[in-house]
Amino acid sequence: MVDQAERKEAGGVGETIKVIVQALLLALVIRTFLFQPFSIPSGSMMPTLLVGDYLFVSKWSYGFSKYSLPLSPDLFDGRILGSEPTRGDVVVFRKPGQEDTDYIKRLIGLPGDRVQVQDGVLFINGKAVPREAAGEFTAEDGTKVPQFRETLPNGVSYITLDLNPNSTGDNTREFVVPDGHYFMMGDNRDNSLDSRFDVGYVPAENLVGKARVIFFSIENDTSPLEIWQWPSEMRPSRILTWLG
């Protein structure tokens, strides 16, 4: 009887380990090839994305590179099953030269494009991107910031913020996007380190995926694990916000 009980217990432990391993493998496959969760740590994409937003990024949108894999093993170069991103996509990518760091910005310039900002107006290939006043954005501290709606040549429209009409990023040189690279900008134009500054042109290989949907949002740097804070800190209106 003792031996039978021990075998039953061992079998139960083995079955539990098997289920855990299968669950971990399934989670690994989903994270590698389908969806990866991503949290917003800064205000560079306000008002589209706020600090405390949690979103899903689709990994298959642009195909797969070594940065799609856990720990980014150097198994191959370029992209497998790659497809071209669309101007205006909100993209998660690895920062060039600092590939252990994820960034999220809006794709503004495609390979061969000429991109420049003059007096706060975005120019693509010599043509001004339409920019219309869109009221004010109220930050969590009560500060009001002018908003503008931009509409890219392919019809993608979104809201940007203009904290300072005379900031460094409001007047730039003309950038010519090299082949196989992309030009990224934050929607919070005066508070975003992007392709105008230290990020530079982003290689296609560095793209991780396309931001799809906000699945959770909580303010004031509150951890989502602090469930008791949800009634006062959660942003219900942002949950299930579709990004593209």
Q: How confident is the model at residue 23 (pLDDT cuts 50, 70, 90)?
A: low
Structure tokens given for 17: 């380990």
What pLDDT shows up at residue 154? 97
Query: Quick one: how far is CA 168 from the chain centroid?
Result: 24
Model confidence, pTM: 0.85
Query: Quick one: how far is CA 59 from the chain centroid?
Result: 11
DSSP annotation string for 184-230: EE-SBTTS--STTTTS-PEEGGGEEEEEEEEEEEB-TT--TT-GGGH
Q: Whole-number mean pLDDT of the chain?
A: 89
Q: Is 192 a catalytic residue?
A: no
Q: Which of 59, 66, 105, 210 is catalytic?
A: 105
Cα(179)–Cα(207) distance, integer angstroms? 15
134-156 mean pLDDT: 92
Residue 141 has a CB neighbour count (10 Å cut-off) of 5
Cα(42)–Cα(54) distance, integer angstroms? 12
Cα(122)–Cα(14) distance, integer angstroms? 60
Which domains does the chain carry?
A: 2-242 (2.10.109.10)
Cα(138)–Cα(194) distance, integer angstroms? 23
What pLDDT shows up at residue 203? 97
Cβ contact 38:92 at 8 Å: yes
201-206 mean pLDDT: 97
Cα(232)–Cα(55) distance, integer angstroms? 20
Q: How confident is the model at residue 166 (pLDDT cuts 50, 70, 90)?
A: confident
pLDDT digits 0-9 by tens, 71-127? 777 777 888 877 899 999 999 999 999 999 999 999 999 999 999 999 999 999 999
Q: Which of 44, 61, 65, 217 is catalytic?
A: 44
Q: How confident is the model at residue 2 (pLDDT cuts 50, 70, 90)?
A: very low
171-195 mean pLDDT: 97
What pLDDT shows up at residue 118? 96
Q: Is 237 a catalytic residue?
A: no
Instruction: Identify the sign of the CA torsion 177, 182, 187, 193.
Output: negative
Cα(177)–Cα(180) distance, integer angstroms? 9
Exposure letters 43-67 (e unless 16+ CB within 10 A, then b): bbbbbbbbbbbbbbbbbebbbbbbb
